[in-house]
Amino acid sequence: MKDQLEALVTQMVEHDIGYEDAVCEFEKRFIRKILEKSGGNQSKAAKTLGIHRNTLSRKIEDLRLDRQPKRRKRVRR
């Protein structure tokens, strides 16, 4: 895996990808994968990431990852 990461970093440098863009893109994809793995459960995702739930919510908003359909509310009987 380290070799793959090294190759990716080399490609990014060769294509003049800036540091901020690289970090943002990595963070966006990493968080998206963790959210998928947790079934969209932000509390579980935050725990997996080792960050507070509010921090994850802020990052989702900042990275514009919140474009997923909202969960439907349960109808109480």
Domains recognised in the chain with CATH numbers: 2-62 (1.10.10.60)
Q: 10 Å Cβ neighbour count for 31?
A: 19
Rounded Cα distance between 5 and 8, Å, is 5
Burial (0-12, 13-18, 19+ Cβ within 10 Å), 51: middle
* Distance from chain centroid for Cα 65: 7
* Per-residue confidence band for 8, with pLDDT thresholds at 50, 70 and 90: very high
Which residues, 6 or more positions from 55, have their beta carbon under 8 angstroms from its beta carbon?
A: 46
pLDDT of the residue at 73: 63
Segment 57-77, tens digit of pLDDT: 999 999 998 765 555 566 666
Residue 17 C-alpha from the chain's centroid: 19
**Looking at the predicted structure, is the pLDDT value of residue 12 above 80?**
yes
Among 41, 42, 38, 70, which Cα is nearest to 55's?
Answer: 42
